[in-house]
Structure 1
Amino acid sequence: MKGLYCRAGVSDAEPKFVIQETNLPEVLGSHQVRVQVKACGLSQLDLKLLSDVGIQRDLIPVGREVAGVVLQVGPKVTFFQPEDEVAGILPLDSPCSGLCEVIDIEEHYLVQKPEKLSSVCVAGALRDGLSAYTALHTHARIAAGHTLLVMDGASPFGLTCIQLACYHGVKVLTTSHSPQQHTFLEQLRPSVGVQDPLVARVIPVYKSSSDLLSEVLEETGGLGVDLVIDSGVRLHEAEEDDKEKKLFPHKHDIISVLGVGGHWVTSQHDLQLDPPDCRLLYLKSASVSFLNPEVWTASSAQQGRYLHILKDIVEKMSAGVLRPQAEEAVPLYEATVAMETVQRHQKKKAVVQL
């Protein structure tokens, strides 16, 4: 049986992705489930994070968001039976790749998958759903009547945030990175209920004359937004020369659009705030938190809440509340190339169908 693994490069060398033979133990653990994988989502591998939590291997398993069918269960498994359809995210320290035909996984990392959802759809959306839930509920604690600014709303993560926030009665503003994205976001409608736009205002940031602050203040009556969720920020003006970061908002712009008591959830792992930035946050009594969705599988402190989130994600997808953009599945023999594309930021994610 073969799986996809990453051979980390030396110093600044790019990591290499290789197909390796792997074997499963003959005997299942007490709480383990043996799953035949139907689809696997590929997301960017954070080698720095793995090193920080002490996971250092010659070969690192790749592909952690999986959906499939239960083949066999351990003697103490209570949640699942053979032939159940399941979905889940493999833990950071998982020894096996999700791109194997059959994997062994602890039962408390899996939830039941509704029959009407395809394995490809679930595997492609599970990670973004978890990130959106973590940002909106765990960090921002959204409530009806809040105003939310989602940066890059047409990205898979941004789209999930918009749909989830609207479901809870939150007024949403977002930014677009191209004319096509702008049109897509303005035409977003819910699948059920009143067909009002999901987004109150789409702010184009691809135009040189775009002014994020003035448009947000105009939409909010000068008060600013309660919540901001970014997908990365610029720390210095010099980063405008970087094509990848040019469309990211500057950190000072985000702090400026926050209202009194506002909250900023950032994906920028190396965020640095200067004294003037901190002073502005202090004057607004605003706060910042860091979005790291890996904490759920890196720690077992809130395992029950984590499973509740996964279950709610697949149920809302089944009900049509969350409608992720469909990812075109690639066959297994293209997995290596697809993962290299994702790792180089040329694509947000990929889904492999087994």
Structure 2
Amino acid sequence: MYLFCKISAYSLTWFNNNFGSTSFYFQCTGLYCKLGETAADAKFVVRETNVPSALGSNQVKVQVKACALSPLDIKLHEDLKFQRDLVPVGREIVGIVLQVGPKVTFFQPDDEVVGILPLDTAMSGLCDAVVINEHHLVQKPEKLSWVEAAGAIRDGLRAYTALHTLARMASGHTLLVLDGASPFGVLSIQLAHYHGVKVLASALSSEDQKFLEQLRPSVARVIGVWDAKVDLVDSCLEETGGLGVDIVMDSGVRLHEEEPEARCLLPYKHDIITLIGVGGHWVTTEQNLQLDPPDSRSLFLKAASLSFLNEEVWGASSARQGRYLHIMKDIVEKLSTGTLRPQLEDPVPLYDATVSMEMVQKNQVRKRLVIQL
């Protein structure tokens, strides 16, 4: 089914907003996730939404040129108690400013911008036009393509959050990136190498290993955990002279001996605790990580720290808004200069968005997928 935005004299209608006054809207068609009783029951559907024509004081209307697709964290929406049956899909957007609110100071019409729609947005990024607060956008450098900007902004934000904010990365550190060939892993490797960090990366397949080998000298050593003969702990300790690594970034952790086949190549939490060095930092994406008293004791003896990576935290407090914008500006600058080079699939047309998002949600797409509008 073709996604399209019906913006015409016949599609403009009047609606009452939450304050009881009258506002002007136009209808726009986007992609949404229809929640079921379980995450497996979720379906992606095309639905119409209302985009306000009258902007708030600090709002910006953006004509979307490209939108990246990332897996939807349905559990997070449930935890935050967003009472909605349809969850908007596609939050990483890039486009051209069409209109600005009366108090907007950062942008003007025709500016090219990139940003991430807030978690509680009611609009899909796959609409032809979206309304967003100016504090969620940054200027897109002229040399940076639409697709690269949309495809890298979220993974770049995650890499910055993990390495700078949580792990306090510094030149001379040794970093282990687990699943280094993932879109997040690749940008983390490039960012760490830029700052003088020695990078070790694990490969989940022979294809991933060949790809990571091509990233030298950004990657000092590739550890092929897909090969049963290769031991992750021994490889890291050998590379660091037995001292252990300073920073570990995982892509999930095995908590039990018996795990689904899709998680069989993930490291055990005990392995990570063993290979981390004194004063090291473990940044985990495992939301349900459980540490037993002996695990905590081992981390205590090493004075090591454990942090949970949740890039959505930037929207939790307005006090962090300035740093959030600074990070996004630095990401797009490094993208424009080639310091960061995202791994992207070929752009997908809008009419394939539903099928593409289903593949992304099931982790059937290895590289980051971008819809070009």
The equivalent of 1:330 in structure 2 is: 348
The equivalent of 1:319 in structure 2 is: 337
Q: Structure 2 counterpart of 1:61, which letter? A: P
Q: Structure 2 counterpart of 1:261, which letter? A: G
Q: 1:44 aligns with which of 68, 71, 76?
A: 71
The equivalent of 1:70 in structure 2 is: 97
Question: In 2, are the aligned partners of 1:226 and 1:263 still within 8 Å (CA)?
Answer: yes
Matched, 1:216 2:236: yes
Q: 2:268 aligns with which of 237, 241, 250?
A: 250
Q: Structure 2 counterpart of 1:248, which letter? A: L
Matched, 1:156 2:183: yes
* 1:22-101 to 2 correspondences below 5 Å: 22-101=49-128
Q: CA deviation at 1:26?
A: 2.4
Q: 2:157 aligns with which of 130, 142, 147?
A: 130
Question: In 2, are the aligned partners of 1:92 and 1:298 still within 8 Å (CA)?
Answer: no
The equivalent of 1:192 in structure 2 is: none
Question: In 2, are the aligned partners of 1:91 and 1:298 still within 8 Å (CA)?
Answer: no
The equivalent of 2:246 in structure 1 is: 226
Q: CA deviation at 1:217?
A: 0.8
Larger Rg: 2
Unpaired stretches in structure 2, ≥5 consecutive residues: 1-27
The equivalent of 1:309 in structure 2 is: 327
The equivalent of 1:118 in structure 2 is: 145
The equivalent of 2:258 in structure 1 is: 238
Q: CA deviation at 1:300?
A: 2.2
Q: In terms of mean alpha carbon deviation, does 26-35 or 6-15 score higher? A: 6-15
2:53 partner SS: coil
2:151 partner SS: helix
Change (3 A) 1:331 1:238: same
Deviating above 4 A after TM superposition, structure 1's stretches of 4 or more consecutive aligned residues are none
* 1:279-290 to 2 correspondences below 5 Å: 279-290=297-308
Task: Return the alpha-carbon distance in structure 2 between the equivalents of residues 328 and 136 of structure 1.
Answer: 28
Q: CA deviation at 1:243?
A: 2.1
Task: Return the alpha-carbon distance in structure 2 between the equivalents of residues 11 and 211 of structure 1.
Answer: 37
Q: CA deviation at 1:39?
A: 0.3
Question: In 1, are the aligned partners of 2:34 and 2:42 still within 8 Å (CA)?
Answer: yes
Task: Return the alpha-carbon distance in structure 2 between the equivalents of residues 15 and 244 of structure 1.
Answer: 20
Q: Structure 1 counterpart of 2:79, which letter? A: D
Q: CA deviation at 1:54?
A: 2.1
Task: Return the alpha-carbon distance in structure 1 between the equivalents of residues 53 and 110 of structure 2.
Answer: 19
2:261 partner SS: coil
The equivalent of 1:294 in structure 2 is: 312
Task: Return the alpha-carbon distance in structure 2 between the equivalents of residues 11 and 46 of structure 1.
Answer: 12
The equivalent of 1:143 in structure 2 is: 170
Q: In terms of mean alpha carbon deviation, does 37-46 or 321-330 score higher? A: 321-330
Task: Return the alpha-carbon distance in structure 2 between the equivalents of residues 9 and 235 of structure 1.
Answer: 27
Q: CA deviation at 1:326?
A: 2.7
* Cα offsets for 1:119-150 (capped at 9, x unmatched): 11111111100000000000000000111111
The equivalent of 1:340 in structure 2 is: 358
Q: 1:103 aligns with which of 130, 144, 166?
A: 130
Task: Return the alpha-carbon distance in structure 1 between the equivalents of residues 321 and 306 of structure 2.
Answer: 24
The two structures have a TM-score, normalised by structure 1, of 0.95
Q: Structure 2 counterpart of 1:40, which letter? A: C
* Cα offsets for 1:256-312 (capped at 9, x unmatched): 000111110000000001112111111111110000001112332300000000000
The two structures have a TM-score, normalised by structure 2, of 0.91
Give RMSD over aligned pairs. Answer: 1.1
Task: Return the alpha-carbon distance in structure 2 between the equivalents of residues 56 and 40 of structure 1.
Answer: 25
Task: Return the alpha-carbon distance in structure 2 between the equivalents of residues 152 and 199 of structure 1.
Answer: 13
Question: In 2, are the aligned partners of 1:18 and 1:336 still within 8 Å (CA)?
Answer: yes
Task: Return the alpha-carbon distance in structure 1 between the equivalents of residues 186 and 53 of structure 2.
Answer: 42
Task: Return the alpha-carbon distance in structure 1 between the equivalents of residues 166 and 31 of structure 2.
Answer: 33
Task: Return the alpha-carbon distance in structure 1 between the equivalents of residues 363 and 206 of structure 2.
Answer: 21
Question: In 2, are the aligned partners of 1:121 and 1:327 still within 8 Å (CA)?
Answer: no
Task: Return the alpha-carbon distance in structure 1 between the equivalents of residues 296 and 49 of structure 2.
Answer: 50
Unpaired stretches in structure 1, ≥5 consecutive residues: 190-196
The equivalent of 1:179 in structure 2 is: 206
Task: Return the alpha-carbon distance in structure 1 between the equivalents of residues 38 and 337 of structure 2.
Answer: 46
The equivalent of 2:30 in structure 1 is: 3
Q: CA deviation at 1:45?
A: 0.7
The number of residue pairs the alignment matches comes to: 345
Question: In 2, are the aligned partners of 1:124 and 1:327 still within 8 Å (CA)?
Answer: no
